[in-house]
Amino acid sequence: MSAYMIVTIEEMIDPDAMRHYAANVDGVVKQFDGVFLVPRGTTRVIEGSWDPGVVALIEFPSAKRVLDFYESPEYRPLRDLRHRAAKTSIVITEG
């Protein structure tokens, strides 16, 4: 069953670092069979109070592949860079 990694960027701290992250993350995502469905979407709240800012939506073949990607040594340096560059949240949903 496909799984989707939803990444939200609530606050940008270092735009240059995030540009470096964005330029390099796609290759690592592909190594784990992921595909960006929405690489950098803007949001508009039409109901409720969720205001995620910028959203990325990545499809993987399974939740296991999402976690394989997220915990991989290939992604770790980029994850650390993202943590320094922006305030983000990530969720996984299956469907």
Distance from C-alpha of 89 to C-alpha of 8, rounded to nearest angstrom: 5
Supply the pLDDT for residue 78.
98
Distance from C-alpha of 57 to C-alpha of 92, rounded to nearest angstrom: 10
Q: Hey, where are the domains in the chain? A: 3-44+51-94
Encode pLDDT of 11-36 as tens digits.
999 999 999 999 999 999 999 999 99
Structure tokens at 85: 């560059």
- CA dihedral sign of residues 56, 62, 65, 70: positive
Which residues, given as ranges, of the chain have pLDDT below 70?
A: none
* Architecture, CATH, for domain 3-44+51-94: 2-Layer Sandwich (3.30)
Supply the pLDDT for residue 52.
86
The secondary structure element, H or E, covering residue 26 is helix 15-31
Q: Left if phi > 0, otherwise alpha if psi is -120 to 50, otherwise beta: which for 53?
A: left
